[in-house]
Chain A
């Protein structure tokens, strides 16, 4: 089944569509021409366009993410992957089109949405323990001081235990390793019991062992609770076994489909507008020839045509 590839048309033109079907025939999905399902999809984008000035990050983006689906969002730097998350968080407004999360327009602080950022360097002196970081995910946006009632503490303890972080929850966050910090991030994001989990490069700068552990925690959650996962990454290999569909963004163009449909030389060449080879070696995908940035600067000749190796091998 060929993937949907859309290129940005001029404003008002119907976008060029290679194959017109918005909902792939994945098990658990309604067929494209059936009646719409009763339950709202976790995420629905319809003709969604985001422009900064004249530049369209993406144009006419149309897709549904079902409950429990794992969607990976790939693309070069500057393609608008993180901006897509910000739209779903209600922090950016679409220039055109509509977006809903659980049937509602996204708004700041929605309990429907959990957010896992990339690992960051906390100051070793920062007076904040792991459990404080987790607790802020539950009610840090509310005014006033944190209540001391036992129920809150129990919920935080449960969330910490569920990600196996009980052993270091009382350690200052600045002294935690990247893998430990990201486990706590998952606990933090899951405290509100969200229906959609937005992940912004959560595996970046983790070693393969911790990449595996962290992505498995996310996978376990979505299978157990039917949480939809929108996972922004520049390395698809560590999560390849978990991914249902890939949304690939390049300079205003986008494609969506299963990994087998998207990670092909044909699809990526069409997206980038240049010859791309996709090589499969020992179960991982290597993309050869893709420019690093969405907008290669003419004259600089910095195309890095070397292999875009997506991850260290799992051994």
Chain B
């Protein structure tokens, strides 16, 4: 059966719509994940969305709502426990370990279909219902609007925290707000590629974009484009090949990154040394 046939099926249309939504918000958030060194926060919140999904499944037979609410709890916990960068990574590790244990316990009490559990881990893109799609749409809009409002102070606080603070940016509050945005985004992406492969949408496209440009707006645009290509491309390829969508999404994403690295080596080297007599100095201490 051709792609044409599938594109007229509601399940495929839902999947593409959901994939597009998720690609846009992960593409927006990704560059900040890279500049803030928050890859571990992505990984942690993604794995913890398993716990939230398991709780949702057990209580209301609704893993998506459970994962979204759980991600807000996780963002709050990370924000409270980890104020500084180094502290934050260990705080995420602590919460991650406990949260996964709780998730395993919750799942042991679930006696429904085992596929529901594996869907949480590896994505369930072709099973998106109308109601879930509306929920995803609502959260995606919330994330996109919040990112638009936060954009400048978040950029300032991420690349230049001391001066941002001196200029009046509430750097701590902005960081916590970003944690919530990140947790919601990651949980949405987990619906498409599964908790285990979230990094392929939340980090890889942004990392690829960062190899090609140093202009923040361009990096964001490229990051969104790459995420769209990976998510929608992976879904379409999956319809034709019977390979699981998350596998193809992560493969395309990785291929884009490799391509960007190859192209970027020439772009990012400096055109000319400005003061040959005074090489770049590291700050002492």
Contact = CB atoms under 8 A, between A and B. Distances in A.
A180 interface: yes
Contacts of B134: none
Nearest to B212: A127
Contacts, number: 128
A207 to B, nearest CB: 6
Given A133-B159, A141-B167, A178-B280, A171 B219 contact: no
A125 B219 CA distance: 12
Contacts of A142: 152-153
A209 B270 contact: no
Contact of A89 (B166, B216, B271, B281): B166
B160 A177 contact: no
Contacts of A273: none
Interface string A285-303: 0000000000000000000
A144 interface: yes
A167 B274 CA distance: 9
A64 B168 CA distance: 24
Interface string B258-285: 0000000000101100110011111110
A126 B274 contact: no
A259 to B, nearest CB: 26
A127 B168 contact: no
A144 B151 contact: yes
B148 interface: yes
A137 interface: yes
A121 interface: yes
B210 A171 contact: no
Interface in A186-223: 188, 198, 204-207, 209-210
A205 B279 CA distance: 12
Contact of A127 (B149, B151, B165, B213): B213
Contacts of A206: 281
B150 A178 contact: no
A28 B162 CA distance: 34
Band of interface residues on B: 35 or more
A207 B216 contact: no
Interface residues of A, number: 50
Given A168-B274, A171-B270, A177-B278, A127 B156 contact: no
A35 B151 CA distance: 49
Nearest to A90: B168
B152 A139 contact: yes
B165 A126 contact: no
A47 to B, nearest CB: 25
A120 B210 contact: no
A132 B162 contact: no
B151 A119 contact: no
A176 B280 contact: yes
Contacts of A15: none
Given A121-B283, A205-B281, A141 B274 contact: no
A205 B151 CA distance: 32
B35 interface: yes
Contacts of B150: 143
Nearest to A128: B159
B169 A177 contact: no
Given A141-B156, A143-B150, A172-B268, A207 B280 contact: no
A16 interface: no
Contact of A115 (B153, B167, B282, B284): B167
Contacts of A8: none
Interface string B122-162: 00000000000000000000000000111111011001101
A311 interface: no
B164 interface: yes
Contact of A136 (B152, B214, B279, B284): B152
Contacts of B163: 115, 117, 136-137, 188
B210 A146 contact: no
A45 interface: no
B177 to A, nearest CB: 11
Given A127-B213, A176-B280, A141 B31 contact: no
Contacts of A132: 215-216
Contacts of A140: 152-153, 155-156, 160, 164, 167, 169
A242 to B, nearest CB: 22
A291 to B, nearest CB: 19
Given A205-B282, A207-B281, 12 more contacts: A91-B165, A108-B170, A115-B166, A121-B282, A136-B152, A136-B159, A140-B153, A144-B152, A168-B274, A175-B280, A177-B279, A178-B280
Interface of B: 31, 34-35, 148-153, 155-156, 159-160, 162-170, 209-210, 213-217, 219, 268, 270-271, 274-275, 278-284
10 contacts: A91-B165, A110-B168, A115-B163, A119-B281, A120-B162, A127-B35, A141-B153, A143-B149, A144-B151, A167-B274
